[in-house]
Copies of this chain bind each other. A is one copy, B any other.
Amino acid sequence: MATQKDVARLAGVSVSTVSRVLNGSGLVDEKTRSTVQSAIKKLNYKPNLLAYSLRARSSRMIGVILPEMQSIHSSFLQYVGESCMKRGYSVLVGMHCNECERERTLIDEFQRRNVDGLILYPAIDEQNVSNDLLEYVTVPIVLYEHSFADNRLGNVSFNNYEAGVTAAKYLLSLGHRNVGCTVGPMGMKYIKDRFWGFHDGLKDMGIEIQKRNIYECDFNYQVSNIVSGEDAVRYFVDGRDRSEVPTAIWAHNDNVAIGIIKELHRRGIRIPQEMSVVGMDNISLTDMIYPPLTTIGQPVPKMAEKAVAMLVKEIESKDGYKAETIVMEPELVIRESAGPAMETFAV
């Protein structure tokens, strides 16, 4: 790789002059400019970004840290990547696999690489986000997070409670009265919010969800959400009197819903005629299966764009702008997996 020095030598000028024509900073004679430019072309010189970064204290890199590269995360990364590229930032990516220690290691490492900012989907262990983020993060950061109370950090969040409400209202509007739902570990705020939204949405219309109509998924990284969905069907159907089988189920995420649909198909239970299924998140798979899944969507493209926009604004701001906490509203995506309630469940 040619260096600035090589160009300078070839053009018979000093390095600072080369730098000047490169950055258009400072005055430079038309003749020398063109000499330099042709030297650049001849040597196919490209400025080294590492050296620039060291000098400028800005690497034009953004670190993106996610739990993994599955379902909603990969599409988030896709959009984040596009937004970053559009703004001239490169993306350093890392996965923490929901282990706080790896998360911390990644944050450290990225900061040591002088990233200009960080986008973090925090690791969730038993409890919620580690609060000491504030202590060791020294660059602008925006979280993609649903339970973080501390608004000193930027946060693109999502109204999980309202999502639950939306699901409940929609099912009710379809005439369902005997509805079921799944939940994940209630220690996580966003899971709790989803559930209570659903609960309250039903209650508002005078329906109290029955305890036996709530399926708690096995929370364990070995068992996938798909399997949890299959298990849920067993739970809701096996050994129940037909009148006790819910006519509709809301799953707390799309993968669970897809598992439910899978098992329903296996049993020959028709969707939505015999049972309606509604998901949560609107991952890309939802439109690939049959029947296309009705779901409550997170506006992922918008959230990704907003996260990058806020982050870059903070990075480039001269006036101390700080990324805010914003919460996005859910959108009901009606497809084909939910329909009007039937009188009874046909076994």
Residues of A within 8 A of B (CB): 1, 46-51, 53-54, 59, 61, 68-70, 74-75, 77-78, 81-82, 85, 90-95, 108-114, 138, 226, 255, 258-259, 261-263, 265-266, 284-285, 287-291
Q: Are B78 and A95 in contact (CB under 8 A)?
A: yes
Q: Which residue of B lies closest to A135 (CB)?
A: B44
A94 to B46, CA, bound (A): 19
Q: A90-B94, A90-B113, A108-B46 are in contact. Are A261 and B284 (CB under 8 A)?
A: no
A77 to B68, CA, bound (A): 10
CB of A89, distance to nearest CB on chain B (Å): 11
6 shortest A-B CB distances, which residue pairs? A265-B290, A74-B74, A69-B78, A262-B290, A49-B112, A93-B93
Q: Are B94 and A91 in contact (CB under 8 A)?
A: yes
12 pairs, CB–CB < 8 Å, chain A vs chain B = A46-B111, A49-B113, A68-B78, A69-B75, A70-B78, A74-B77, A78-B95, A81-B93, A82-B95, A85-B94, A258-B288, A262-B288
Contact of A54 among B50, B75, B110, B261 (CB under 8 A): B50
Copies assembled: 2
Which chain B residues border A74 with CB–CB below 8 Å? 69-70, 74, 77
Q: Are A114 and B50 in contact (CB under 8 A)?
A: yes
Which chain B residues border A255 with CB–CB below 8 Å? 288
Which chain B residues border A111 with CB–CB below 8 Å? 1, 46
CB of A138, distance to nearest CB on chain B (Å): 6
Q: Which residue of B lies closest to A64 (CB)?
A: B93
Which chain B residues border A90 with CB–CB below 8 Å? 92, 94, 109-110, 113
Besides A90-B92, A90-B113, 20 more A-B contacts (Cβ < 8 Å) are: A47-B112, A50-B50, A50-B53, A50-B54, A50-B112, A69-B81, A74-B74, A77-B93, A85-B94, A91-B92, A91-B93, A91-B94, A92-B92, A226-B287, A259-B288, A262-B288, A262-B290, A265-B290, A265-B291, A266-B291
